[in-house]
Chains A and B, each alone.
Chain A
Amino acid sequence: MNIIAKVGPGQLVGCYLREARYEFMRLARTPAFVLPTLLFPAFFYLLFGVVLSRGVTSVDAGRYLLATYGVFGIMGASLFGFGVSVAIERERGFLTFKRALPMPAGAYLFAKLIMAMGFAAIISIMLATLAASVAGVSLAPWQWLALFVVNVFGTMPFCAIGFWIGTMASGSAAPAVVNLIYLPMAFLSGLWLPLKVLPDVISRFAPIWPSYQLSQIALGVVGGGTGGSPVVHVLVLLAMTALFFTLAQRRLAASGRLPGP
């Protein structure tokens, strides 16, 4: 064969998109992932934001928890969807198989990021619908939109952390490791209960958690944050994303060629 067959830019984009679409569809067909990922944030929001806060401050609680349960929800989608699947696929040899194929650099990780963002978008819309209908939260159009954007792009640091866990934990241990990080971090960042009502030491250390950083941006959008600059929070989150992504890539590099960019 003397024909020099090249893969053009259009075909490359096609590779990335197809990989992402099928990754999303694959997890969407997995009830063990979909049900907790989508239902827990909605259920907790209804329980704590609506049912248990009937009273004077119900609208405030509805707003606060709309922001924080959004962060809680997208953390779950990212840590489980990204981290656990990398751990399983690494352990079972699928990652090796993918690396043997001429998959474009980065398509594997891109697909998982887009999958997490897709679930984050669904969680965001579900919570917004519940907030607007049942909890009586009313926000300006830009606030609804900003919250959606924060939730979707807020997946990045948690995907990086998930990726890092996925390069270290075995497939069977990964869900436990994720839970060990996910649930305490959510609590210590004030996602379930406002930091105001928690012991002082917890709020003093809260800024070290990426979930705190992201929740402050989300709370800033709905008018309930501590008033810190969102730019600083964004920079901290970007730094955390880069750190964990680099750690994960190093772990993988130690076992051969990188699948990433």
Chain B
Amino acid sequence: MADRSTHVLAELRGACKRYGKQQALAGIDLQLHAGEVLAVLGPNGAGKSTAIGLLLGLVTIDEGEVSLFGQSPNNLAARRKVGVMLQQAGIPENCKVRELLEVTRGYYAEPRTIADCVALAGLEGLLGRNYGGLSGGQQRRVQFALALCGRPQLLFLDEPTTGLDVEARQALWRAIRELVGQGCSVLLTTHYLEEAEALADRVAVINNGRLVAEGSVEEIRARVAHKRIRCRTRLNADQIGAWPHVLAASVAAGRIEIVADMAEPVIRRLLAEDTELAELEVQRAGLSEAFIELTREAA
């Protein structure tokens, strides 16, 4: 743990990136430490892929600093310690799986053997096949094999399980855990909360190019361990919003929706002030609602 705080593998400091009028990243600080799995969560368009692009040197930074193993990501020596799985690899369909692996292994100083790659990524029987002839799940496994074939110290996985069925997703999770067990650090982007919960030590939530929250999965959940109260009432949402324990109140589909850090005092007061209050409903916010809440707060 002491080592963890001192050894930063990849870092963004005050990173800003703009595409034309669109601000993709608006000053993000992100650190990935040795030995950890960091999940970067956020809705589509939040800036997750841009953050990865910066760390890999695919995107030039407008403002701020980016470092990979203490160097510029354009440094080949730094990138040799990194394995990459992008959302879209665009691999030509007429590439053979074995050729892809051999070419990619060749970029690294101490690559894994082909047999190891096959075993880790589950490519049995696929080496002689054309990439274009594989199913979506098989293609994803090939991409995963390309990410791990160089025996990287750090893996970038940009939405690795998007489009996979449950079984394939869990198989990939097992493989990622195995690599982590061997000492590999992982930076993972996802919009699946289960994925962050299943794999990550630490979660960073970003939205609209800003870091909204950061901490362990439990911390993130605790931070938004709110209750969600819905009811039909003649009370005004703005008034309720000013009550103690109420974090937000809004009108949705003719009902008032209240987010509170403690439900009981709010409900007591609601019932006292509006005797005709109806359709009362109280829910505990799950991680996925917590996440929605966090990104909505930031918006």
Contacts and interface: CB of A to CB of B under 8 A. Distances in A.
Interface of A: 1, 3, 5-7, 11, 14-15, 18-19, 22, 25-26, 29-30, 85, 88-89, 91-97, 99-105, 256-257
Interface in B125-167: 146, 150, 153, 156
B23 interface: no
B102 interface: yes
A5 B91 contact: no
B79 A94 contact: no
Interface string B101-134: 0111011111000000000000000000000000
Number of chain B interface residues as a range = 20 to 34
A19 B103 contact: yes
B288 interface: no
Contact of B89 (A85, A88, A93): A93
Contacts of A18: 102-103, 106
Contacts of B88: 92-93, 96-97
Most chain B beta-carbon contacts within 10 A, residue among A22, A89, A104: A22
B58 A103 contact: no
Main secondary structure of the interface of A (DSSP, over half): helix
Given A6-B109, A7-B109, A93-B86, A104 B76 contact: yes
B58 A22 contact: no
B298 interface: no
B92 A89 contact: yes
A217 B92 CA distance: 36
Nearest to B56: A100
A257 B91 contact: no
B90 A256 contact: no
Given A30-B94, A89-B92, A257-B74, A99 B103 contact: no
A5 B110 contact: yes
A22 B150 CA distance: 19
A102 B99 contact: no
B110 A102 contact: no
Given A102-B79, A102-B150, A96 B58 contact: yes
A18 B101 CA distance: 11
Contacts of B109: 5-7, 11
B76 A97 contact: no
Contacts of A93: 86, 88-90
A88 B92 contact: yes
Contacts of A3: 110
Contacts of A103: 107
A7 B80 contact: yes
25 contacts: A7-B109, A15-B106, A18-B102, A18-B103, A22-B95, A22-B99, A29-B94, A30-B94, A91-B90, A93-B90, A94-B89, A96-B86, A97-B84, A97-B91, A99-B57, A100-B58, A101-B84, A101-B107, A102-B79, A104-B107, A105-B76, A256-B57, A257-B57, A257-B58, A257-B74
The 8 closest A-B pairs by CB, nearest first: A92-B90, A93-B90, A5-B109, A94-B90, A102-B79, A93-B88, A102-B80, A100-B84
B79 A26 contact: no
Given A97-B84, A104-B107, 14 more contacts: A11-B106, A19-B103, A19-B106, A22-B103, A94-B90, A96-B86, A97-B90, A99-B57, A99-B58, A100-B57, A100-B79, A100-B84, A257-B57, A257-B58
Contacts of A85: 92
